[in-house]
Amino acid sequence: MRQALETMLSMQHAMNTRVHENWIDQKFEWYRAVWIECGELMDHIGYKWWKKQTTDLQQAQLEVIDIWHFGMSALFTPATEPAELAARIELDFYHAEPETNDMRAATEALAADSLHTRGFSVPLFAQLMLASGLSFDELYRRYIGKNVLNFFRQDHGYKDGSYQKIWDGREDNEHLTELLEGLDSDAESFPDDVYSGLKTRYPG
């Protein structure tokens, strides 16, 4: 787990640096992105008791992955050493136990904490991860995939608006999910394999 955490932190730092070279010093409101993503997650699991709604677990899990991107970013400081941060996060994961299997309650707990502290709680995130049916290994696999997709988007015009998010009638996230099912996440070439797979499918 420690090595996986260091890898994810390193990749997140690289992605954020791609967007802004001195991103840590900018003190972006990562907590705000966290609670807004929590709201988007709610849309996928349904909260409207006054109408029929069907839970889309796969899309809800994708929101959990997005929350993890912003959450890790919130944990960085100018003095952050990735190895030390990975060790602290590892302890939080090991000690986290699901207080509830209710995704709505777990989502609200994380959102409320983010709004109150303007930070990010790894234990509360771990509870949400487990409530959503994700293991740590699956979090790692899908995080790597989404991180690579984010780089792919940047490489193909995401920032200037020329990127095409819909491919053959489906969002790029859906293509990513399908692509990950056929790749070996334990392979050293996994990130490169994901990128190559995306490039093969992309119509632009």
For range 111-116, the mean pLDDT: 97
pLDDT at 149 over 90: yes
For range 49-62, the mean pLDDT: 90
Q: Which CATH superfamily is domain 1-134 in?
A: Type II deoxyuridine triphosphatase (1.10.4010.10)
The whole-chain average pLDDT of the chain stands at 92
Please give the angle made by the CA atoms of 118, 149 and 101, to the nearest 5 degrees.
50
The pLDDT of residue 63: 94
For range 165-182, the mean pLDDT: 90
- The band of 159, judged by pLDDT with boundaries at 50, 70 and 90, is confident
The pLDDT of residue 36: 97
Domain boundaries, the chain: 1-134, 139-204
Kindly provide the b/e burial profile for residues 163-193, where b requires at least 16 CB atoms within 10 angstroms of the residue's own CB: beeeeeeeebbbbbbebbeebebeeeebbeb
For range 49-58, the mean pLDDT: 90
pLDDT at 188 over 90: no
The pLDDT of residue 98: 67
Question: pTM for the full model?
Answer: 0.87
For range 183-203, the mean pLDDT: 91
What is the spatial distance between Cα 114 and Cα 131, in angstroms, rounded to a whole number? 18
pLDDT at 97 over 80: no
What percent of the chain is modeled with pLDDT above 90?
Answer: 69
Contact present, 122 and 92 (Cβ < 8 Å): yes
The pLDDT of residue 202: 94
The pLDDT of residue 101: 83
pLDDT at 19 over 80: yes
